[in-house]
Amino acid sequence: MERPADTVADSAGRGVSAVAEPLLAVNAIEVVYSRQAMVLHSLSLSVPRHGIVALLGANGAGKTTTMKAISGLLRSERGEITKGTIQYDGQRIDRLDASRMAARGISLVMEGRHAFGGLSVEDNLRVGAFTRRDGAAAVAETLDMIFSYFPRLKERRRSHAGLLSGGEQQMCVIARALMARPRMILLDEPSMGLAPQLVEDIFGIIARLNREEGVTFLLAEQNAAVALRFATHGYLVENGRVIRDGLAAELASAPEIKASYLGFADEGMAGFTERKRWLT
């Protein structure tokens, strides 16, 4: 069943603060893989300027698919947006090639890290600046800014990224995304496979980047407990549909979230180790 566009916009706007136009608006998209498997059903969400929005859901809910739809990566996976639109800063981006997004100001940090293992950390970061046209001096300045957020990366700038620890690799790919000076970063499961303290550190840096550099974030997470602590808004996705959304503080106590055990299994961090339950 398709919902009329106006109700959709309404549902997307619900719970979002009074900022007039969101930076990103996903309007009732439907995504089909290989012409047969429909994975997203009329999914809508909006991300306010300078906000941090959490996209929550269990394994297979459709978080990564949503991120790929926004960043134009579906095509290379034989996926297709068959209905709906995606608007960024008031312009449609759903027909754009993935490589055009960085120049527009959107950077995706893919699930599972994806550092360029055979390249040095610094080369990884320089690839992140591929689309910039503002000169070497400006790029060097961004590099310094990034190293101030990630001092660990500065120490390891000459190592192959493939030899970094999991946490350092996660920092490396976030840093790489920042090199494009994006207005918005899509972050797919930054906590995956990291120790609780490291998860705290990384979310802390996200919050600082949001506060100090004005970067807008859309975070896909299974670890709802942590994500909602740092986010302003949240969406809960199940089987490719948004089943609940609202202010982060309200969502944290919502029965749907509790019921789905997303990071709240034994309250707080313990839920992190329980995640694999959702495979069954």
Partner 1 sequence: MSPLSFFFEVLIGGLLSGVMYTLVALGFVLIFKASGVFNFAQGAMVLFAALNFVGFTELGLPWWTALMVTLAAMVVLAMAIERAVLRPLLGQDHMIVFMATIGLSIFIEGLAQLIWGTDVRGLNLGLPEDPIFIGDILVSRADLMTAAVAALLVLGLSLFFTLTRIGRALRAVAEDTQAAQVAGVPLGMIWAVVWSAAGVIALVAGLVWGARLGVQFALTLVALKALPVMLLGGFNSIPGAIVAGLLIGASEKLAEVYIGPYVGGGIENWFPYALAVAVLVFRPTGLFGSTGVARV
Ligand X SMILES: Nc1ncnc2c1ncn2[C@@H]1O[C@H](COP(=O)(O)OP(=O)(O)OP(=O)(O)O)[C@@H](O)[C@H]1O
Q: Which residues bind Mg ion (CB under 5 A)?
A: 63-64, 111
64 binds ligand X (CB under 6 A): yes
- Closer residue to Mg ion, CB minimum distance, 93 or 186: 186
Question: Based on CB atoms, which residue is closest to ligand X, 60 or 196?
Answer: 60
Whether residue 199 contacts residue 226, with contact meaning beta carbons closer than 8 Å, is answered with: yes
At residue 56, what is the residue type?
A: L
Q: What is the rounded CA–CA span in Å between residue 204 and residue 174?
A: 13
65 binds ligand X (CB under 6 A): yes
Closer by beta carbon to Mg ion, 46 or else 64 = 64
* CB closer to partner 1 out of 173 and 236: 173
Please, is 119 exposed, middle or buried when counting C-beta atoms within 10 Å of its C-beta (0-12, 13-18, 19+)?
Answer: middle
Nearest to 185 by CA among 11, 19, 23: 23
Q: What is the DSSP string of 212-258?
A: HS--EEEEEES-HHHHHHH-SEEEEEETTEEEEEEEHHHHHT-HHHH
- Which region among 53-61, 86-94, 123-131, 243-251 touches ligand X (by CB under 6 A)? 53-61
Q: Is the Cβ of residue 176 or residue 183 nearer to partner 1 in the bound state?
A: 176
Q: Which stretch binds ligand X (CB under 6 A): 58-66, 80-88, 148-156, 158-166?
A: 58-66
Asked if 71 touches ligand X (CB under 6 A), the answer is no
CB 100 → partner 1: shortest distance, Å?
Answer: 8
Residue carrying the six token digits 């995304």: 177
Least distance to partner 1, CB of residue 72, Å: 8
Quote the tokens at residue 258: 């509790």
The verdict on 7 binding ligand X (CB under 6 A) reads no
Which member of 9, 49, 60, 116 binds ligand X (CB under 6 A)?
A: 60
Min separation Cβ 276 and Mg ion, Å: 14
Q: What is the 3-state secondary structure (H, E, C) of 102-148?
A: HHHCEEEECCCCCCCCCCEHHHHHHHHCCCCCCHHHHHHHHHHHHHH
Task: Tell me the closest approach of the beta carbon of residue 5 to Mg ion, in angstroms.
Answer: 27
Q: 74 or 121: whose CB is closer to ligand X?
A: 74
H or E segment and range at residue 202: helix 196-212
Comparing every residue's Cβ against ligand X, the nearest one is: 64
